[in-house]
């Protein structure tokens, strides 16, 4: 079962159970103010539009936060016990047309992945969008704040730290232990010994240091790796925090790249970070270094990366993200033996809906009480 925030339990007669909520009473909850800018009265119904397949137990957890909350499903289960992992076409019915318009007209809150910006004109009551993804760059590039500058936008940052940090470690070990060589030889039915390396003693640089990179840094250190990190918020180098040996500002990126055996791209996509790993950066990288990208493909100059791989200057690349997606069938990356491609699945895991619903119900309780929301996107910063 999903864990409902302790500050958000209330008796919900619709479910016949007692859930938790710290609002003193429903009337007081109804006069809660928005966390960023002025008070508004809450309506009798608070419509939450959920735009992804979400199991009924999590829908109930959302509605348990407040008596007025009504979940409006864009994806409706066709039967009892339908799981989000079931094939959408077989197990879930997607609401479209006039039926969708009716839901959009009722929605004050959006909960889902990519919010179609064209829906804004059909969502006059929308006040807040809680994304189920860690990134919001696609929304900002689509002009979300241009069309609705007062809209609150929050992300699911932190929900992905366990699976993606494990994915980073898997990619590091793939190259350090020569798993790429073993897989290639197995396909050829070839028993050929080779000399794996160790992650222990190798250096790794985290480009970006959010929740994902922080957990990955802990795992890397536990393997005996030396960890450094580049942070956009810094103006000068900073010493260790107990895990990272040294923090670098972005203007020192090239110097730390020259010393790193592994480079992990974990920064958010913003206008400033697009193409941040380009010709100059590949030229200064340590010969034989491995690049791992779990952020966005646009942060890396892909043609230059391909050239560095073809020339052997780059020892390997672990790519969960590319530009564009899906990767075209004729891309040379597919046939490179020292490239590992996963189709943007590093954040996928069987606990996703549970974790993202826990985050959302916590934020929903905060929203109703007029408290600051977790993971608010600052439009000036871009994340």
β-bridge mates for residue 46, sequence order = 69
> Mind giving me the DSSP string for 183-247?
HHHHHTT---------STT-EEEEES-SHHHHHHHHHHHHTT-EEEEEETT-SS-EE--SS-SEE
Quick one: pLDDT band at residue 3, thresholds 50, 70, 90?
A: very low
Q: Comparing 331 with 117, which gets the higher pLDDT? A: 331
Residue by residue, DSSP assigns 61-122 as HHHTT-TTEEEEESEEESSTT--TTS-HHHHEEE--HHHHHHHHHHEEEEEESS--GGGGGG
Confidence band for 24, pLDDT divided at 50, 70 and 90: very low
344 part of the active site: yes
Beta strand 246-249 with 238-239: parallel, antiparallel or unpaired? Answer: antiparallel
Q: Which range (204-218, 224-238, 249-263) has the least confidence?
A: 224-238
Query: Is 296 one of the annotated active-site residues of the chain?
Result: yes
Out of 57, 99, 198, 325, which one is annotated catalytic? 325
**pTM (predicted TM-score):** 0.84
Task: For the chain, give the percent of residues with pLDDT over 70.
Answer: 87
| pLDDT score at 30 | 37
- Cβ 304 vs Cβ 333: under 8 Å: no
pLDDT per position as a tens digit, 159-210: 999 999 999 999 999 999 999 999 999 999 999 999 999 999 999 999 999 9
Q: What is the mean pLDDT of residues 218-222?
A: 98
Q: Residues 259, 313, 344, 371: which is the catalytic one? A: 344
Chain segment 47-69, per-residue pLDDT in tens: 999 999 999 999 999 999 999 99
Beta carbons within 8 Å of 156's beta carbon, 6+ residues apart: 130, 131, 132, 133, 134, 356, 359, 375
Average pLDDT of span 356-376: 97
- Work out whether strand 107-112 and strand 128-131 pair parallel, antiparallel, or are unpaired: parallel
Q: What pLDDT is recorded for position 277?
A: 98
Per-residue tokens: 294: 């779990």
Q: Mean pLDDT throughout 202-229?
A: 97
Instruction: Check residue 138 and give its pLDDT.
Output: 82
State yes or no: pLDDT of 230 exceeds 90: yes
H or E element at residue 27: helix 26-30
Cβ proximity of 305 and 289 under 8 Å? no
Segment 69-80, tens digit of pLDDT? 999 999 999 987
User: Helix axis angle, 56-63 relative to 352-368, nearest 10°?
Assistant: 10
Which among 231, 296, 355, 366 is annotated as catalytic? 296
Q: What percent of the chain has pLDDT over 90?
A: 76
Find out whether 379 and 142 touch, Cβ atoms under 8 Å: no
Lookup result for tokens 């039915």: 189
């Amino acid at each position: 079962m999903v864990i409902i925030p302790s500050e958000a339990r209330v008796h919900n007669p619709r479910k016949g159970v007692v859930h938790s909520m710290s609002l003193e009473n429903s009337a007081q909850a109804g006069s809660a103010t928005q966390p960023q800018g002025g008070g508004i009265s809450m309506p009798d119904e608070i419509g939450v539009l959920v735009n992804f397949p979400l199991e009924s137990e999590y829908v109930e957890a959302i509605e348990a936060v407040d008596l007025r909350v009504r979940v409006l499903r864009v994806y409706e289960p066709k039967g009892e016990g339908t799981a989000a992992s079931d094939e959408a076409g077989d197990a879930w019915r997607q609401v479209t047309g006039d039926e969708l318009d009716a839901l959009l007209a009722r929605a004050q809150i959006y909960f889902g992945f990519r919010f179609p910006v064209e829906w804004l004109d059909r969502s006059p009551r929308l006040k807040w969008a809680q994304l189920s993804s860690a990134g919001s760059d696609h929304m900002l590039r689509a002009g979300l704040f241009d069309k609705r500058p007062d809209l609150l936008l929050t992300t699911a940052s932190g929900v992905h730290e366990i699976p993606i940090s494990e994915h980073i470690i898997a990619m590091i070990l793939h190259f350090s232990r020569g798993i790429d060589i073993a897989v290639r030889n197995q396909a050829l039915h070839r028993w050929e010994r080779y000399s794996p390396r160790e992650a222990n003693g190798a250096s790794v640089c985290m480009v970006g240091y959010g929740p994902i990179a922080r957990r990955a840094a802990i795992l890397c250190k536990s393997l005996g790796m030396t960890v450094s990190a580049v942070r956009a918020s810094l103006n000068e180098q900073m010493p260790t925090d107990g895990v990272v040996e040294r923090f670098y500002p972005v203007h020192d990126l090239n110097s730390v790249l020259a010393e790193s055996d592994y480079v992990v791209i974990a920064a958010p996509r913003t206008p400033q970070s697009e193409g941040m790993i380009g010709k100059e950066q590949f030229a200064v990288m340590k010969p034989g270094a491995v690049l791992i990208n779990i952020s966005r493909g646009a942060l890396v100059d892909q043609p230059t990366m391909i050239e560095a791989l073809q020339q052997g200057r780059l020892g390997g690349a672990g790519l969960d993200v590319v530009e564009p997606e899906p990767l075209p069938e004729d891309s040379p990356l597919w046939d490179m033996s020292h490239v590992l491609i996963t189709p943007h699945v590093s954040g996928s895991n069987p606990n996703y809906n549970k974790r993202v619903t826990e985050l959302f119900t916590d934020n929903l309780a905060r929203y109703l009480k007029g408290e600051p929301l977790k993971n608010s996107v600052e439009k000036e910063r871009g994340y």
